[in-house]
Structures are given as structure tokens and as C-alpha cells.
Amino acid sequence: MTLLDDAARRAQRYLESLSHRRVAPLPEGLASLKKFFEPLPEHPTDPAESLRRLDELGSPATMAMAGPRFFGFVIGSALPATVASNWLATAWDQNTGLFDATPSTSTIEMVALAWLLDVLGLPPESGGSFVTGATTANFTALAAARHGQLARAGWDVEAQGLYGAPPLTVVVSAEAHPTLIKSLGMLGLGRDRALVVPVDGQGRMRVDALPRIQTPAIVCIQAGNISTGAFDPAPEIIAWAKRAGAWVHVDGAFGLWAAASSRLAPLARGVADADSWATDAHKWLNVPYDSGLAFVRDASALRASMAIHAAYLPRAEQRIPSDYTPELSRRARGVDVWMALRTLGRSGLADLLDRTCRHARRFAEGLSGAGHEVLNDVVLNQVLVAFGDAETTDRVIAGIQEDGTCWCGGTTWQGRRAMRISVCSWATAESDVEMSLAAMLRVARDVTRPVR
């Protein structure tokens, strides 16, 4: 057997184990990780033996994120078709920075980009970047925003930096994701300088509390709150921002996908009128890590902030991928996006989105039916549930993680300790939801049972 056959066989066996194994790794699996700490071999070793070691020590210590009952953070499972495309693209090993050097993967990315803009209902002329995740997508889109607003004010930020630049006002929500705030810091716009708009009980920006602004200005809104799934009121905020001449950026790490389902699209109403958008493909589109996407209506602003030139880097008539990304060298992320969209089609994607939201509603209904408090309006695929006070809720979360049927994490939502359920995986079936719900209710009963 060749090494690649062996890897495929081991990967397949691993994936098949996920529906019946415990979601969190067993303590024995974690304990074996210490065997990785060995001296660096002085000489070459047998790759087949190293692969076996990787599988035998590494696989049992993984969290079953690729399986059907992992509901932590906001994490998708790679669709089998995208694992296959990823393997082939890895074998191609194309450094997808330059069209001339990588015509195949550069072309596939162009197709994937056009399909993405179509399915997400975004302006077809937008520029797009295939990056590592929503963090980098926010960074990339906000770099274009910084360029666009400062260029209008007569300032060349790429050439001069922010030394002596006209002050740029940034507006964010009190519920902006910390990676968006971090992106502002990385762009020299400051993590603590933005004007912060208060939110309502679902985490939506309050339109009645929008500040007075002057350009240059960037207004950041959110499509899909990490805890509640709620959307900022895009039509009202965008109209207000446009009146002031500001750039509007949307962080839609998972919520932007709502536009691809006719059932969910009303949540994303108005979002397409913004100037830039960030989302993830590794969340709700279910492609392998890592895969994020930035889109910018004015593609020239994106190019101005990202493109570089060097005598040894060939220019081309066609779209040059690295003109749109912080990286020059990178893997062909667009291949997995192309595979996911081509194999799901419009209806398969809408079905994946609707199905996961239906599962989230079933969790909410089952938990509230048993007397537990669901803290959010379950409009998307996120559920927040409290099992009484903070200590009891934390004990239930720990008990559920220990039980292993499923995995959920915790958070504090507007002062209340809560368990988060995020349903993002293509693999989750109704039976997984029922099995997980039963485990949650069993653990909650055990934790809250009065001691005699």
C-alpha cells in the first residue's frame, strides 16, 4: 500500500468512527499526547511509521468537530466532497498567488467567487479574497475601507501610513466580535478608539443610539451575533451611514449565508447595500479549515490596499489572486469552495442552512419544554440556554462535555451564564439532535436533582 492510500484509509476509518465515538477525547487519548514529545530524529525515519504514529496518537485525542454532535463555538464539519477536493488540491500544491503560475486554481477561484457573489446576493462587480478565516477577512475588507475613505479625503494611506492622516471615525457595536476589534488594531485604527453603539436584548445595534459622525468614517455592522444569531438592523444603519458618506462593513462570519436561503433571507435584508463583507466558508459552508472570504464592492479599493509589484512577479490579463489578499503565497482555498457550491447547488446549500436552523429550533423547544430558560430568540442556528444560576449552568455544561454524547461550550450573555448550542454541520441528523437533547436533559436532571 502506498503512503497516500494508507492516509486515505486511516482518514476514512476516522471519519466513520465519528458518529459513534465520544465527542470529546477520552482522558487516555489525551494522556498519550505526551508521547509526541520525543527528541528530533537525527536521520530520516520511515514515513509509514510516522503516519501510523500520527494516527494512533493524534486521532484519539481529537475533538470530533467533523462529526454530527459537536455544537461548540461556531464550527462546521467538512463535507466529504470538500475533503476529497482538498486532498487533490493538496497534491497539486499550487501556490495560488499568481495567475500565470497557477492558471488552474486561479481560474477555479474566479468561478467560485462569481458563484459566491451570486448565492449571497452581493454585487457581481465586487472584488473577493480567499483568506484564512473571518478574522483575516475582516482585516482585509477593513483595509479596503480604510483606503476608500482616506483616498476620498485626499490621503494615500498605503504610501504614508496613518502619520498625519485625517482622523478616521470608526463605529462598532457593543457586540462586535473581538476579531473585528483586533482587525481595527492591526490596521492602526485602534482597538479602543471606535465609537461603540449600545445593543438591545438580542445583541442588535440600537438605531436610536447611533452617534453623529463625519467622514472619513467606517461603520461596522454584524450579520449573525456569535451568541444569539441576531442581525443588526442593516437597512436603517446603512441609510444613516450613507447619508454621512461613511463606508459600511458587514461582519457576517456565518450570518451572511442567510441570504442563500429564501426562508432565512429576510434576516439579511439590506445587507447587500453595504460596501464590504466578511464571512467564513469553514463555518456554514462546511469546507475544511481554514477558509474565510472578504468581498468589497469597489474592487479597486481592495486591490489598492493589497496588491504588490515586483520585477519577478508576472502580471496577467486575468485576475491575479494575490492582488486581493494579505498573503502572496497561499494554498488554493477556492477549490474547496468551488466543490462545496458545485455539489450542493443552490438548493442543497439552502437545505443545509434551513436544516441546521430547524435543528436549533428543536433544541430550543426541547429545552424550554423541560423548563430550562432559552435566553435568545432562535432566529438562526444559535441557542443560548441557562439551567438556573451560573454555578448550576456551569455544572451542566461540564456534565454534558463529560458525558460525551455531544459537546457544547459556555458563555456569559448580558450578565447570565449560559450554554451555547451552535448547529453548523451538514452531518447533524434529527436522530443526533434527539440523542443530544436527551443527554442534555439527563445531565441537567442529575445536576439539579435535590440531594437527600
Ligand X SMILES: Cc1ncc(COP(=O)(O)O)c(C=O)c1O
Of these, 133, 229, 321, 366, which contacts ligand X (CB under 6 A)?
133
The one among 85, 102, 126, 179 contacting ligand X by CB under 6 A: 179
Shortest separation between residue 352's beta carbon and ligand X, angstroms:
18
Q: Which of 353, 290, 257 is nearest to 130 (CA)?
A: 290
The nearest distance, CB 391 to ligand X, in angstroms, is 26
Which of the stretches 21-29, 206-214, 234-242, 248-256 binds ligand X when contact is defined by CB under 6 A?
248-256
409-413 and 416-422 strand pairing: antiparallel
Burial of 189 (0-12, 13-18, 19+ CB in 10 A): buried
Residue 175 engages ligand X in binding (rule: CB under 6 A): no
The single residue among 18, 74, 117, 293 that binds ligand X, judged by CB under 6 A, is: 74
Q: For ligand X, give the closer residue by CB, 109 or 280.
A: 280
- Listed in sequence order, the residues at least 6 apart from 89 whose beta carbon sits closer than 8 Å to its beta carbon are 105, 331, 332, 335, 336
Q: Does 280 bind ligand X (CB under 6 A)?
A: yes
Q: Which is nearer to ligand X, 70 or 254 (CB)?
A: 254
- Count residues near ligand X (CB under 6 A): 14
Q: Does 226 bind ligand X (CB under 6 A)?
A: yes
Q: At its nearest, how many Å lie between ligand X and the CB of residue 333?
A: 12
Q: How far is the CB of 287 from ligand X (least distance, A)?
A: 12
Which residue in the set 177, 331, 362, 372 belongs to the binding site for ligand X (CB under 6 A)?
177
Considering only 127-135, 145-153, 196-204, 359-367, which stretch makes contact with ligand X by CB under 6 A?
127-135
Q: Please name which of 285, 232, 279 lies closest in space to residue 251, comparing C-alpha atoms.
A: 279
d(CA 182, CA 231): 21
Stretch of residues binding ligand X (CB under 6 A), selected from 62-70, 187-195, 220-228, 352-360: 220-228
Any contact of residue 108 with ligand X (CB under 6 A)? no
Least separation in angstroms between residue 422's CB and ligand X is 9
Q: Which of 23, 253, 375, 383 binds ligand X (CB under 6 A)?
A: 253
Among 219-227, 341-349, 363-371, 432-440, the segment contacting ligand X (CB under 6 A):
219-227
Point out which residues pair with 420 in neighbouring strands.
Answer: 384, 409
Is the CB of 74 or the CB of 367 nearer to ligand X? 74
* 384 touches ligand X (CB under 6 A): no
Where do contacts with ligand X occur on this chain (CB under 6 A)? 74, 133-135, 177, 179, 222, 224, 226, 251, 253-254, 280, 292
